[in-house]
Amino acid sequence: MDLKHLNYFITVYEQKSFSSAAKYCFIAQPSISAAVAQLEQELQQVLFTRHARGVTPTEQGEKLYPLAKQLIGQADAIKQTFLSQGIQQSFRLGVTKGLGVKRMSALLNDFTSAETTMELTLVPQHENSDARIIIKEELKDEEKYHLIWQEDYLLVLPINHPLSLKDEIQLTDLDGLAFIQRSPCNAWQMLNDTLTLSGIQLDIRAKIQTIDYALGLVRAGLGCALVPAHPEIIENTDLTFKAIDKLQLTREIVLAYQHTTPLLRTLKQQVKLISEF
């Protein structure tokens, strides 16, 4: 009996699908098929009934699942018994501010549970680190990267603002608009250039740094602002978010690194899962 196959079996059971399990295991779908078939052969039992919408475990599959889970757990425990004695591998991850706590902690949680013997340290993005989660524009020349999230910059307005009634916001609507400038902000430069070219001028009411501060000021009716629209921000139902027509302001959040290490490999896999679903 092969632990690798049992692991595949477990994922299939939890996903109720071969193809989905394949993605989670970072292998091709036929490989999952083969592994399960081999287990079924070895145990002389059919473990899943296959149908057009995935698979459902048979009675035997149901019986195997807790046993397999336990066995894998025990194997992991053995491994950790020895690894935790040794040098805790440390990993320093640089993180840009303002990426949203929830999704970031979800990612880091996956990472730390996949690498239980690792000691993860979060550092500001410019400090020395093994990898960085940053906006694409912040990439250094020597760094390679993988896309994690992509999100548009949206105009955020108080819900009672006149513009919130419009379906589409045009560039010209921005002329003379009360605006809260948040810097540093990658989109700001681009927006400002575009506006200058069109002869449109904003009415800057405040210059601040954090997104949360900006949202607070908008909520207070001080003006509008431009913010990256990630899930955690859009949740604010007491604010209105609008795209600006003909102006695509996007930020790409990437995993940046220079050297590949085993730990980084794991992190890259977690990132891959995020960007694929």
Partner DNA sequence: ATCAGATATAGCTTTTAACTATAGCTATTT
Partner DNA sequence: AAATAGCTATAGTTAAAAGCTATATCTGAT
Residues between 34 and 53 that touch its own copies (CB under 8 A): 42-45
Residues between 9 and 38 that touch its own copies (CB under 8 A): none
Minimum Å gap between C-beta 9 and DNA is: 12
Q: Quick check: 64 binds its own copies (CB under 8 A)?
A: yes
Nearer Cβ to its own copies (69/268): 69
Stretch that binds its own copies, among 59-67, 93-101, 146-154, 261-269 (CB under 8 A): 59-67
Q: Which does 102 bind (CB under 5 to 8 A by kind): DNA, its own copies, none?
A: none
Long-range contacts of 266-269 (CB under 8 A, 24+ apart): 266/111, 266/114, 266/115, 267/91, 267/93, 267/111, 267/131, 268/146, 269/26, 269/114
- Give me the phi and psi of 89, to 5 degrees please: -75, 130
Q: Quick check: 106 binds its own copies (CB under 8 A)?
A: no
| Separation between Cα atoms, residue 21 and residue 11, nearest integer Å | 5
Minimum Å gap between C-beta 4 and DNA is: 5
Minimum Å gap between C-beta 47 and DNA is: 10
Minimum Å gap between C-beta 20 and DNA is: 7
Q: Is 169 exposed, middle or buried (0-12, 13-18, 19+ CB in 10 A)?
A: buried
Minimum Å gap between C-beta 53 and DNA is: 5
Q: Quick check: 160 binds its own copies (CB under 8 A)?
A: no
Minimum Å gap between C-beta 262 and DNA is: 13
| C-alpha dist (Å) from residue 121 to 17, 53, 87, 101, 144 | 35, 42, 15, 16, 21
| C-alpha dist (Å) from residue 114 to 221, 267, 270 | 45, 9, 9
Stretch that binds its own copies, among 58-66, 99-107, 211-219, 257-265 (CB under 8 A): 58-66
Q: Quick check: 68 binds its own copies (CB under 8 A)?
A: yes
- What the block records as the tokens of 182 is 């948040």
Stretch that binds its own copies, among 61-69, 101-109, 120-128, 181-189 (CB under 8 A): 61-69
Which positions lie near DNA, rule CB under 7 A?
Answer: 2, 4, 17-20, 22, 26-31, 33-38, 50-55
Residue at 96: amino acid letter = T
Summarize as ranges the residues that interact with its own copies (CB under 8 A). 1-4, 42-45, 60, 63-64, 67-68, 70-71, 74-75, 78-79, 81-83, 85-87
